Amino acid sequence: MALHFEPEEYAARRDRLKLKMDEEKLDAILLFAQESMYWLTGYDSFGFGFFQCLIVKSDGSMVLLTRAADLRQARHTSNIDNIIQWTDRDNANPAVDLRNLLSELDLLGSRIGIEYQTHGLTGSNARKLDDQLQSFAKIIDASSFVDQLRLLKSPAEIGFIKKAAELSDEVLDKALELIQAGASEADILAAMISANIAANGDFPANDYIIGSGKDALLCRYKAGRRKLNKNDQLTLEWSGVYRHYHAPMMRTVLTGKPSKRHLELYEAASEALAVVEKSLNATSSFGDVFESYAKVMEAHDLTRHRMNVCGYSVGARFAPTWMEPQMFNAGNPERIQPDMTLCANIIIMDSDTETAMTLGQTYLTTNAEAVSLTRHSTELIVK
């Protein structure tokens, strides 16, 4: 088996899940998020694009229901002993196979939690699942159970995220070697991806963001490339990735002479990131972190140019996003605790003047101040 953690690590994770299930009086939980399966068993696949489910009973026993294409994948990458296939065929309904399997596991009439909030369970499959189980068992929405357990990282996980952060730094190094007037976005992006993979990294859970000129104001990847002008702006968001663990960063890099507006937005972004960093401690909630950011934006008259989120938890993630569900947004009561890995992103997009400015990086929370995991400074980068 190609497992990345020691058996004791997986056993501890299973024990934590069993305690949660006991608290919620669950006889079983049905996991559909690939992150949950990877965290609990090591199972590593993009097969979640199709119907698959990891059944975990209250006694800790596990059964994976998946397709033939992932049978050997599960055997090779996970510690799951019991793997059952459902058969691809015209008009197949794997929810029926799952119900029959649950019956064989003596779960008829039991209390079952389901992980609904995941890209691994489409709306169509969720409806099929509910149709099959509504009279079979008492169904509980258990979407956040494993997400909450994953929020606090173990020492081994923190080691992987620190390695991912080292890769993030190397990716920025390679980008900065190429960024100048006349440089091609294609060459810059190719160098960034190559730096991560060549250093034994993995594919990121979402595309790197790269955009210059007007496209520097975009917060998502888009197809199409351009070359940088003499006085230009280039927004980059990327992450080093090690064993699926991420440590994202974000920067807006300028070529030529910075405009007055760029300097104004950088001053605000730098101040906001410093305030956010200071708030990453046990006296704050995720909502408090957002409020500290929002106050700086308001003081600089940038409320309508800011985002409604200024960061999120990160860890081991699969497509389509490297963001964990917990975000720095208004009113979020989640408390900051030691051993969280959190990405703070300050994004200011002034569409009136078509000026972009971003600053973002990953932190490790401790019993005291949060620790930045990058060796790069937050100074404005001008090439």
pLDDT in tens, 8-21: 999 999 999 999 99
Q: What is the DSSP string of 47-93?
A: GGGS--EEEEETTS-EEEEE-GGGHHHHHHH----EEEE----TT--
The pLDDT-based confidence of 1 (bands split at 50, 70, 90) is: low
For residues 338-343, average pLDDT: 98
Terminal alpha carbon distance of the chain = 47
- Summarize pLDDT for 265-276 with one digit per residue, the tens: 999 999 999 999
Q: How far apart are CA 189 and CA 168, in angstroms?
A: 13
| Neighbour tally for 72: CB within 10 Å | 10
What percent of the chain is predicted at pLDDT more than 70? 100
Query: 270 is written with which tokens?
Result: 């730098």
Q: Quote the pLDDT of residue 222.
A: 95
Q: Quote the pLDDT of residue 2.
A: 84
The pLDDT-based confidence of 329 (bands split at 50, 70, 90) is: very high
For residues 66-85, average pLDDT: 97
For residues 39-61, average pLDDT: 97
Residue 162 has pLDDT above 70, yes or no: yes
Q: Are 303 and 294 spatial neighbours (Cβ–Cβ below 8 Å)?
A: yes
3-state secondary structure string across 209-250: EEEEHHHHHCCCCCCCCCECCCCEEEEEEEEEEECCEEEEEE
For residues 240-244, average pLDDT: 98
| Neighbour tally for 326: CB within 10 Å | 20
Q: Mean pLDDT, the chain, as a whole number? A: 97
Burial class (CB in 10 A: 0-12, 13-18, 19+), 90: exposed
Q: Quote the pLDDT of residue 204.
A: 98
What percent of the chain is predicted at pLDDT more than 90? 99
Query: 324 is written with which tokens?
Result: 């964990």
Query: 28 is written with which tokens?
Result: 């079983």
For residues 174-195, average pLDDT: 98
Q: Quote the pLDDT of residue 326.
A: 98
